[in-house]
Amino acid sequence: MDRAIHIAWVYPDILNIHGGRGDIMALNKISEKMGLPVEIKRCEQLSEDIPFEWADIIYMTSGELKCMPEIVEAFERQRDSLEKYIEKGGILCAVSSSGAVLGNGLEKDDGSIVNGLGLLDMMWKERESVWGDDLWFSTEYGFEIMGNQIQIADVKLGEGQEPFGKTIYGRGNCGDGTEGAKKGNVIFTNCLGPMMIKNPRMAAELLKTAAETAGVTGYRMLDENDTVIEDKSFELIKIFIEKKMNEE
Amino acid sequence: MKKIRFYAALYISKILAWGIDVVAKGRGTNLPGEIALKISPDFISHIKNIDPDKTIFVTGTNGKSTTTNLIAHIFKKAGVKAAVNLAGANLLPGVVVTLLRNASLGGKLKTDVILLETDERFLPIIYKKLPAKHLCITNVQKDQVQRNGEPNVIWKKIASVIDNDVTVYANINEPNASSLGKLTEKCITYGVDSNSASFDKKGDFFAIAMPCPMCHGALTFESYNIENVGAFVCRECGFNGKEKADYQAESVDFENQTFVADGKKYDFKYNTPFFLYCYIAALAVSDNFGIKNEIAAEAFKDFVNIGGRSESIEIGGKTMHYFRMKQENPETVQSALNMMAADKSEKLFVLGLDDLRDFKPFYTNTFYSYDCDFRKLLDSNISHCICFSETVAYDAALRLLYDGLDENKLTVLPTSDEKIIVEEIYKHGCDNVCIVTLLKKFNEIIDSAKKYVDGKEAE
């Protein structure tokens, strides 16, 4: 093993809602189970540089839409470094409303448009009312993910933009069967839960991808003994969701 | 025609409210208002003698009821007649019921002031009908995300009713409330000094604060008086909650239950940091309505809060301590956890989070528990933990495990059957039982525990 996996936790105080910090706790804990050490750095202030050269994973937990312009501006300030980071296969993950930062733009309720970074081909439109529900979707990794979503903006993917998953239950991006968006290692998901806590296989997958890109070896993937409580949670909530599906 | 509809609405709703009072006192908080509004949609505008300058709304996420009740108690002591929605019916129909109960048969309001706890989400709708010129804001925090989404949704709703004609009473230590106060020239601030119950989160890697409501940079709390309320500062724009407020609770003494404001000493019976903000907010409002502080001080002494946040019941040798929480409201959960953690005696901790069933679609949110910190509680002599719920028992268990609970001290019951829960509680030797769940479920557990104990005694 050469080194730890480097995780930049971007703006933990600003992107502070929906228990999002649980995702970072999960990455920390799952990495221990995998025998894959991580080093996590908090990027506190908008004025401070994001450590693109250092990071293997850059993670934005769920935040309020109002903060999006300032966050886009902070990333734009380091546009060259951001593009190099994505080119080298760095992981950039944004959850819930923070995903608006990665898209083409956000149409606000007053009709004004706020530009995003354009890393994922998707357009956001602020909703008149909030949509909150469970979310269950399949992924390209061969496992399903379960969590919740609180949506205050609809997301429309551009033609050719791959989703992160396909919904089994829930609204996902806008009720069209797509959930989130993914291009290379740039990922947006609506999934809360926190997603990485409730779906440790996803956390392990993210860490594995980071390890492969960084050339780090000597770790193991999770087995069923590592996820006993999470699997029981999945089964219990599956019953609850299936009841709702049958009622529809 | 509109006048006729108004009087019809007034008389029918008054009779209905009176009837409900006779049959089930305290239940008629909304229905007569709903009917009045159906008959006469602009009911409020027909009531005579409403003076917006003598109308106070108390709004915010947490603390609305207690603050409203405290102000009402001061008014009563001072002989000021107030129309108040003490029963907490804080939507438009509840407001209408409060007004019609205090109106004469001629449709004239018989009180000196109107004092209303007002739901923060419906504030603009209520304000449109009744443009109060006094707005007391407790805080704007995470709450009911399935309805509200994020705090800024509520912030914008409150902001929409503030202009320079509105006097805002703003909590200077709560960033969102404080920033709302900046929207008017008539802002009166209230706050609390750092005190023996204050704390910080230095050295806690996973601690989070909040975005600055002014510039959206990261806020830092130098110290907290309660969760997300305290001496905050924005390193980006300088916005801060460290200045002395117009009404500042100083020299806070929880042991002797006193604080000082503007050189005068006040007794306060409910000696928790949360209540302090309610007391000082009430003082700010009553003082600005010309009530002598001596009267407020007297009122604080004998104020009795309606619907406490905790209670204890002894059943079969076990003391069941209940700590009230609201789902999807991390601050209330954290307050419950902090109260439990303050008791260092050995305790059995029972956690009953549940799926959300306020409206469809029902869903299984437990993510708000990651905005809370269970570590202090888990370090406060917990003998064992029981997590129960038909849907989210394992999610609640995961939350505790992530904060360091030893798996051997954990029992997960994937059921909401109170009989099974009670049997599990009585399997454990610890007689000090701390329960965090919804009030309805707690009452079911208590009933079941009584039956369980009666059954054992009969054996």
Using a CB-CB cut-off of 8 Å, the residues of chain A touching B219 are 13
Under the banding of pLDDT at 50, 70 and 90, the label for residue A116 is: very high
Chain A CB contacts of B414 below 8 Å: 232, 236
Q: A229 and B412 in contact by Cβ < 8 A?
A: yes
Rg (CA), chain B: 23
Q: Inform me whether the pLDDT recorded for B207 exceeds 70.
A: yes
Please say whether the structural domain B47-302 has been given the CATH code 3.40.190.10. no
User: Residue B232: how many CB atoms within 10 A of its CB?
Assistant: 24
Beta-sheet pairing, A181-183 with A186-189: antiparallel
Torsion angles phi and psi, residue B289, rounded to 5: -100, 15
Give the model's confidence band at A105: pLDDT under 50 very low, under 70 low, under 90 confident, else very high.
very high
pLDDT above 80: residue B28: no
Q: How far is CA A177 from CA A94, A164, A181, B31, in A?
A: 20, 11, 12, 41
Task: Average the pLDDT over each of A59-68, B165-174, B214-223, B269-278 and give the range with the smallest value.
Answer: B269-278
Q: Is the pLDDT of residue B2 over 90?
A: no
- Among A22, A230, A244, the residue with its CB nearest the CB of B361 is A244
Domain count, chain A: 1
Tell me the chain B residues in contact with residue A230 when contact means C-beta distances shorter than 8 Å: 394, 398
Whether A203 has a pLDDT exceeding 90, the answer reads yes
Nearest CA in chain A to B145: A150
CB B115 within 8 A of CB B50: no
pLDDT score of B21: 84
Q: With beta carbons less than 8 A apart as the criterion, state whether B405 and B292 touch.
A: no
Give the β-pairing of B258-261 and B247-253: antiparallel
Lowest mean pLDDT, pick from A162-176, A219-233, B306-320: B306-320
The strand pairing partners of A57, in sequence order, are A7, A91
Interface contact flag, A12 B208, Cβ < 8 Å: yes
CATH of the domain at A63: 3.40.50.880
Closest A-chain CA to B415: A236
Q: Parallel, antiparallel, or unpaired: how do β-strands A91-95 and A57-60 relate?
A: parallel
Minimal-distance CA residue of chain A relative to B216: A67
Q: Tell me what the mean pLDDT of segment A148-176 comes to.
A: 98
Q: Looking at CA atoms only, how far is residue A161 from chain B in angstroms?
A: 27
Question: Mean pLDDT across the stretch B135-159?
Answer: 97
Cα–Cα distances (Å) from B344 to B348, B378, B380, B383, in that order, read 12, 10, 5, 11
Q: For residue B175, which of B155, B201, B148 has the smallest C-alpha distance? A: B155
What percent of chain A is modeled with pLDDT above 90? 98
- Residues B313-339 have a mean pLDDT of 91
Tokens of B299: 């009122």
Taking the Cβ of residue A228 and every Cβ of chain B, the question of whether any pair is shorter than 8 Å is answered with: no
Angle of helix B31-39 relative to helix B92-101, nearest 10 degrees, comes to 90
CATH superfamily of B310-458: Mur ligase, C-terminal domain (3.90.190.20)
Rounded to a whole number, what is the distance in Å from the CA of B434 to chain A's nearest CA?
24
Residues of A in contact with B152 (CB under 8 A): 64-66
pLDDT at B307: 63
> Between chain A and chain B, how many beta carbons pairs sit less than 8 Å apart?
150
pLDDT for position B26: 66
Q: Do B205 and A67 touch (CB under 8 A)?
A: no
Contact call for residues B209 and B218 (beta carbons, < 8 A): yes
| Nearest chain A residue (CA) to B235 | A45
- Looking at residue B22, its pLDDT comes to 85
Backbone angles phi, psi at B8, to 5 degrees: -60, -45
Q: What angle do CA B311, B312, B316 make, to 5 degrees?
A: 155
Tokens 């008014």 -> residue: B75
Residue B363 distance to chain A (closest CA, Å): 5
Instruction: Measure the CA–CA gap between A40 and B65, rounded to whole angstroms.
Output: 42
Q: What is the rounded distance in angstroms from the CA atom of residue B340 to the CA atom of residue B109?
A: 45
pLDDT at A242 exceeding the cut of 90: yes
Q: State the best of B143, B365, B374, B408 to mutate against chain A, taking most chain A CBs within 10 Å.
A: B365
**For testing contact with chain B, the best of A135, A236, A248 (most B CBs within 10 A):** A236
Residue of B369, B370, B390, B401 to mutate for A, most A C-beta atoms under 10 A: B370
B310 has pLDDT over 90: no
Q: What average pLDDT score do residues B368-396 get? A: 97
pLDDT confidence bin for B323, thresholds 50/70/90: confident
In this predicted structure, the answer to whether residue A174 has a pLDDT above a threshold of 60 is yes
List the single residue in B with minimal CA-CA distance to A109. B153
Pick from B342, B213, B333: which is nearest to B271 by CA?
A: B342
Q: pLDDT-derived band of residue B287, with 50, 70 and 90 as boundaries?
A: very high
**Chain A residues near residue B208 by CB distance under 8 angstroms:** 12-13, 16, 21
Q: What is the pTM of this model?
A: 0.95
What is the spatial distance between Cα B189 and Cα B281, in angstroms, rounded to a whole number?
A: 8
Cβ of B367 and A132 within 8 Å?
A: no
Q: Residue A1 pLDDT more than 60?
A: no
- Report the alpha-carbon distance of residue B362 to residue B327 in Å, rounded: 13
Whole-angstrom Cα distance, residue A82 to residue A117?
10
Query: CB B402 to CB A133 under 8 A?
Result: no
Say yes or no to pLDDT of B459 above 90.
Answer: no
Question: Of A116, A202, A128, A148, which is closest to residue B368 (Cα–Cα)?
Answer: A148
CB B362 within 8 A of CB B445: no
Cβ distance B236 to A21 less than 8 Å, yes or no, reads no
pLDDT in the model for residue A82: 98
Q: Which residues of B touch A40 (CB under 8 A)?
A: 205
* Percent helix, strand and coil across chain A, each to the nearest 5: 35, 30, 35
Domain that holds residue A160: 5-247
DSSP, residue by residue, B200-254: --TT-TT----B-TTT--BEEEEEEEETTEEEEEETTT--BS-SPPSEEEEEEET
Mean pLDDT along residues A5-31: 98
Which among A13, A134, A240 has the least Cβ separation from residue B208? A13
Give the rounded percent of residues in chain B with a pLDDT score beyond 90.
87
- Mean pLDDT to the nearest integer, A178-203: 98
Tell me the chain A residues in contact with residue B150 when contact means C-beta distances shorter than 8 Å: 17, 64-65, 97, 150, 152
**Residue among A16, A26, A40 minimizing CB distance to B210:** A16
Range B262-283 average pLDDT: 94
Contacts of A147 in chain B (CB under 8 A): 367
**Mean pLDDT, range B309-331, rounded to an integer:** 90
With contact defined as beta carbons under 8 Å apart, do A34 and A222 qualify? yes
CB contact under 8 A, B152 and A44: no
pLDDT of residue A228: 98
Segment A97-115 mean pLDDT: 96
Q: Kindly indicate the confidence band of residue B324, based on its pLDDT and cuts at 50, 70 and 90.
A: confident
Report the pLDDT averaged over residues B9-23: 90
Inter-chain residue contact B367 with A22, CB threshold 8 Å: yes
Domain residue limits, chain B:
1-45, 47-302, 310-458
B218 chain-A contacts, CB cut-off 8 A: 11, 13-14, 44-46
Tokens of B344: 């260092």
d(CA A13, CA B373): 15
Confidence check: pLDDT of A199 > 70: yes
Q: What pLDDT sits at residue B132? A: 98
Give me B37's structure tokens: 């509004």
Residue pair A177/A81 in contact (Cβ under 8 Å)? The answer is no
Cα separation of B120 and B139, whole Å? 10
Nearest CB to A194: which of B152, B363, B367? B367
Mean pLDDT over residues A51-55, rounded? Answer: 98
B78-115 pLDDT per residue, tens: 999 999 997 778 999 999 999 999 999 999 999 999 99
Q: Please tell me the distance from the alpha carbon of residue B83 to that of residue B81, in angstroms, as a whole number.
A: 7
Q: Which residues contact B167 (CB under 8 A, 6 or more apart)?
A: B133, B134, B135, B184, B186, B187, B188, B288
> Do A34 and A94 meet the contact criterion of CB atoms below 8 Å apart?
no
Q: Among B210, B361, B397, whose Cβ lies nearest the Cβ of A229?
A: B397
At B87 the pLDDT is 75
Residue in B with minimal Cα distance to A16:
B210
What local confidence, expressed as pLDDT, does residue B8 receive?
94
